[in-house]
Amino acid sequence: MRIFTTGVFVFLWFCAPCQAGRTTGVRFGSQGDSSARIVIDLTEKTNFKIFPLQNPSRVVIDLPDTTNGVSEKSVGDLPAYLKNVRFGKNGKAARIVLETARETVIKKSFVLAPQSGFKWRLVVDLEILRDQPLKQVSAEWYDNSVSEQKPARKFDEQPKVKPLIVLDPGHGGKDPGAIGVSGVYEKHLTLAVVKQLRALLEKTGRYRVKLTRETDIFIALYARRRFARSVNADLFISIHADSIKKPQTRGLSVYTLSEKASDKEAEKLAEKENKVDLIAGIDLSNETQEVTDILIDLARRETNNRSSFFAEKLMGEIRKEIKVLPNSHRFAGFAVLKSPDVPSVLIEMGYLSNAEEERLLRQAPYREKLARAAVRAIDDYFAEKHKANFN
């Protein structure tokens, strides 16, 4: 859970001091006409800075204390999504400029350690957009102790296009999430219900819908929320299913952001979910008090209020259909809920440690009841949000 050729930024997260190095190669790949991958070969591990520029649209990558061992002549033919590639310097940093043929979003970027005959590699994954209107943002360095900076959305402005909803199926790839009593993986259930919800939302003709993942792949938590911000989402819904040591406990709950969890159970759950990023080598769970204060500041009151407003709508519809927990609207510091300007909720569909609830969640008709309730809540939310006073 992305940066724009117009949009959001990538975290910098590398641990040990980096030695001076150089680039030794650049390779380009693509999957269909909507996804692309750029791989930059390096002699040493390095930090990086990546940001968008426009007129023309381009992605700029700076590698500090690095020299370019690659030139335009050595690159060869470019793929269709690139107009031009330039290599230069920015002070002591090697600079690579990718001029894109279409608007692009940087879905993720990461450094791979030496293996299989390769040395260090910087990997940048792009999503190639078609007609998505994008916004320019200023360039700056990012690391995992700095919160996202983006002007707050003015919620009283009437949308000129259909609202965009980003659905986030929890876990995926190497991270299976909770494992049910029958052996079912949370990551498979979350993707199944998200696809059902997408189909119902698109059927209404009232919404645009994007998924943070369409297949069984791992996506870091920060990348999920950054994707929602990069595409200017109007609403972000993350779907999960938990497991606890009390097999008799069952029921759905909905979470919105709070740095102080509403109860100890919510606090432990948020801590467990946030630490999932350790799998990818990025620890987002040990932020300083200063950073926590910044996050609280950036989670503007109107965004928190909108999230809570939607959560209440959601629970009002869901409890008509399926069993929910007492005090079902809860609060916790989930990493995926920390977008400062995208109303966000996290749905815990139930407990896979409860045999009956796990059995129900494996059934498509039961998941569809949940999805239909969510559609009704989304309809109510967008119908009323311009009339309600959130101040």
Same domain? 29 vs 171? no
Residue 326 contacts residue 262 (beta carbons within 8 Å): no
Which amino acid is it at 24? T
Same domain? 100 vs 228? no
Q: At what angle do helices 301-318 and 364-384 cross, to 10 degrees?
A: 140
Same domain? 205 vs 329? yes
The H or E element that residue 187 is part of is helix 186-204
Q: For the purposes of burial, counting CB atoms within 10 Å of the CB of 39, is it exposed (0-12), middle (13-18) or buried (19 or more)? A: middle
Same domain? 273 vs 325? yes
Whether 250 maps to a domain, the answer reads: yes
Biggest CA–CA distance in the chain, Å, is 66
What domain range is 52 assigned to? 3-128
Position 111 scores a pLDDT of 84
Position 19 scores a pLDDT of 55
What is the pTM (predicted TM-score) of this model? 0.54
Position 163 scores a pLDDT of 93
Which residue, 327, 367, 372, 375, is CA-closest to 349?
367
Spell out the SS3 assignment of 5-46.
CCCCCCCCCCCCCCCCEEEEEEEEEEECCCEEEEEEEECCCC
Same domain? 305 vs 175? yes
Which residue, 311, 312, 321, is CA-closest to 371?
321
Same domain? 89 vs 172? no
> Last residue of some domain: 108, 128, 148?
128
State the 10-residue block means of pLDDT for the chain, 391 residues long: 36 44 86 78 88 79 90 83 88 89 79 80 80 35 34 44 92 91 94 95 95 92 86 92 89 82 54 48 43 44 82 92 88 78 90 94 94 95 65 37
Same domain? 241 vs 358? yes
> Last residue of some domain: 107, 128, 149?
128
Query: Considering its fold, how many domains does the chain have in total?
Result: 2
DSSP characters over 276-339: GGGGGT---S---HHHHHHHHHHS-HHHHHHHHHHHHHHHHHHTTTS-EEEEEEEEE--GGG--
Instruction: Indicate which CATH number applies to the domain containing 41.
Output: 2.60.40.3500
Whether 139 maps to a domain, the answer reads: no
Position 263 scores a pLDDT of 55
